[in-house]
Amino acid sequence: MLLILVLGATLFSASSANRTVLIDETVRVPRAQFRALRIPLQQKPAVIECEFKVEQGPNVRAMVMSAEDVDRMRANKSYRILAASPGAQAATLVYRVIRPGDYMVLIDNQGEGQPHSRVHVSIALAYDEQSSFTPFTLPPAQRVRIVVLSLAAFSLVAGLAGWRILKAVRRQPPFPTDFAV
Residue 124's pLDDT is what?
94
Is residue 112 over pLDDT 80?
no
Residue 12's pLDDT is what?
45
Is residue 141 over pLDDT 50?
yes
Is residue 169 over pLDDT 80?
yes
- H or E element that contains 154: helix 140-171
Say how many C-beta atoms besides its own lie within 10 A of residue 176's C-beta.
Answer: 7
Residue 102's pLDDT is what?
93
CATH, domain range 17-128: 2.60.120.680
Residue 129's pLDDT is what?
67
What's the predicted TM-score (pTM) here? 0.61
Is residue 160 over pLDDT 90?
yes
Over range 25-51, report the average pLDDT: 90
Residue 9's pLDDT is what?
47
Residue 41's pLDDT is what?
87
Question: At 180, is the pLDDT very low, low, confident or very high (cuts 50, 70, 90)?
Answer: low
With 0-12 CB in 10 A as exposed, 13-18 as middle and 19+ as buried, what is 100?
middle
**Total length of the chain:** 181
Question: At 137, is the pLDDT very low, low, confident or very high (cuts 50, 70, 90)?
Answer: confident
- Computed on alpha carbons and rounded to an integer, the radius of gyration of the chain in Å comes to 28
Residue 18's pLDDT is what?
83
Residue 19's pLDDT is what?
86
| Arithmetic mean of pLDDT over the chain | 85
Residue 173's pLDDT is what?
76
More confident residue, 133 or 93: 93
